[in-house]
Chain A
Amino acid sequence: MRRVLSVLAAVVVFVALWEGYKAVGDPDGTVLFGTRVLPRADDLSMPHVWDMLRRLGRPELTGGRPVWQVVLGACLFTLGITVAGFAAGAVVGLLLAVAMQRFRLVERGLLPYVILSQTVPLVALAPLIAGWSGNLSFGPYPWQDWMTVAVIAAYLSFFPVAVGMLRGLQSPQASGVELMRSYAAGWWRTLIKLRLPAALPYLFPALRLAGAAAVVGAVVGEISTGTRGGIGRLVIEYSREATSDPAKVYTAMLGAALLGLVVAALVSLLELPLMRHRRRVPVVTM
């Protein structure tokens, strides 16, 4: 409740700032030392908030579907890709974490690369994976554009899960592990009875990070691969029309924000049944 109020307050403050700047700002922006340090305040660059909302109701192109339907459809399309990528990334991350916990050698050999892979912009690979579509196929199933995007989303989301889960699996204290040993419980039973429950408070914050990362991966993936139908693509397409129809691109932005919120909410739903009486731990991924 408090959260919702905070966010609403922030939206109000932001709208007030936006309209306030439009009212007082220089229509051509403020230029200092040859660079524009404050944005243009004219209707072309910063349309009124109500114009953006009104634009949602009007048709995309003359006689076409209203924009809100197009945006919503694009959101659903990207949501599907995001969920597929997130699921794949989470499963890979979980398996990797279990493998690293089980075999110290795997941890030693792989963990540095897992961490390394996050410090470098491997998302830059996106345009290259795009080359797979039309050229690669698994038997009768050809590689498709959306798969490229899902791969990128999965790549971005596996890391928080792998690292968070590994820390969670390693979180039980020695006394707990020794207790399980005294019961003659093997590795598997220790995993099920001790390590997995102990890892949950670490897993869920990691999943939230992974969800947000999957959204970014899907949006960036769509843009850099030129995949049609999704919200990322819509942002680019509408931004090209900015000179004639400035409010349009903001409707796509609203859609992207909505997508982020929906994914965050879905991930939170995952944890509801399991985290009712659990303590929360702050998770640091790097």
Chain B
Amino acid sequence: MRRVLPPVIVGVLALVAWELTVSLGRIAPFILPAPSAIGHELVAQRDNILSAAAASGLNALIGLLWGAAAGILAAMAASRFRLLADVSLPVAAVLNALPIIALAPILNNMFESTSNLPRRLVAGIIVFFPVFVNTLRGLREVDPTHRELMTSYAAKGWTFTRLVRLPGALPFVFTGLRQASSLAVIAAVVAEYFGGLQNGLGSRITSAAAFTAYPRAWAFVVGACLLGLIFYLTTLLLERLAMPWKARLLS
């Protein structure tokens, strides 16, 4: 209760202050629509929001799945060969400093701009890096006591990987996945700003903004936020299910 109460109070106060500032201060809706107006649009547009969220969500999900799978497999490969890991970590760090999202228009050209594929690719590429870096770190960090113990059991190779490395890396994998789950949604929505198919939340937001229907645009933003939250919370849930030994410590 003591953990939940302060954020709830802050949230309610912020909403009330927002509503009052907009209605009493007579702030034009193009600067900041009132929460009540946004809520109204949210209800009125719920079908549109839902279908747009489904389109963007599917892109994000597919991007997340392939990006995470590629990241984990690449990390497993890199952890087998020291040189590969030593080379790929700085490269990943450099690539991560680049605005990868700007690849979207190029991928639109390379594939076709009338499909969702370029977006799923961009989302996957963006997801790849946090998953790869975190997983590799996890795979490389083995408790020295565990290492000696497994040597005393004459266990090596795949047995060692299966019993020690993979479960030991799991917390790191999920750290990467948690970041990746939010990034996937952000990438899927933002990639729509770069042109291509007009069926997701991102294109709905821009078109609403272009028609100066700001409360409606905000309603779609709220939809995007809910989508991001769903992805994040699902990952958290999976994390708890996958690591029952951490459940007590996480809560």
Contact = CB atoms under 8 A, between A and B. Distances in A.
Interface of A: 2-3, 6-7, 9-10, 29, 35-37, 39-40, 44-46, 105, 108-110, 112-113, 116, 118-128, 130-132, 135-136, 208, 211-212, 215-216, 219-220, 223-224, 232, 235-236, 239, 242, 246, 249-250, 253, 256-257, 259-261, 263-264, 282, 284-286
A34 to B, nearest CB: 9
Given A35-B117, A121-B185, A224 B206 contact: yes
Given A113-B11, A119-B182, A124-B221, A215 B110 contact: no
Interface residues of B, number: 68
Contacts of A118: 182
A13 B30 CA distance: 49
Interface stretch (B87-95, B143-151, B158-166, B243-251): B87-95
A235 B221 contact: no
Nearest to A126: B193
Q: Pick from B87, B106, B179, B227 the residue with the most CB of A within 10 Å.
A: B106
A216 B126 CA distance: 12
B157 interface: no
* In the A-B complex, the 6 residue pairs with the closest CB atoms: A239-B105, A120-B225, A120-B228, A39-B110, A260-B98, A108-B6
A253 B103 contact: yes
B91 A6 contact: yes
Nearest to A215: B99
A241 B107 CA distance: 14
Given A39-B111, A212-B96, A256-B102, A135 B31 contact: yes
B91 A10 contact: yes
A249 B94 CA distance: 21
Nearest to A260: B98
A64 to B, nearest CB: 22
Nearest to B29: A131
A121 B97 CA distance: 19
Contacts, number: 182
B7 interface: yes
A250 B7 CA distance: 46
B interface, over-half SS: helix
Contacts of B228: 119-121
B225 A286 contact: no
B198 to A, nearest CB: 14
B19 to A, nearest CB: 17
A124 B224 contact: yes
B183 to A, nearest CB: 9
Contact of B111 (A29, A127, A249): A29
Given A9-B87, A212-B96, A249 B109 contact: yes
Contacts of B103: 253
B9 interface: yes
A127 B217 contact: yes
A136 B31 contact: yes
B24 interface: no
Interface in B225-244: 225-229, 231-232
B49 interface: no
Interface string B147-177: 0000000000000000000000000000100
B6 A124 contact: no
A274 to B, nearest CB: 20
A6 B90 contact: yes
A256 B99 contact: yes
Contact of A216 (B28, B99, B108, B134): B99
A126 to B, nearest CB: 8
Contact of B193 (A9, A119, A223): A223
Contacts of A46: 110
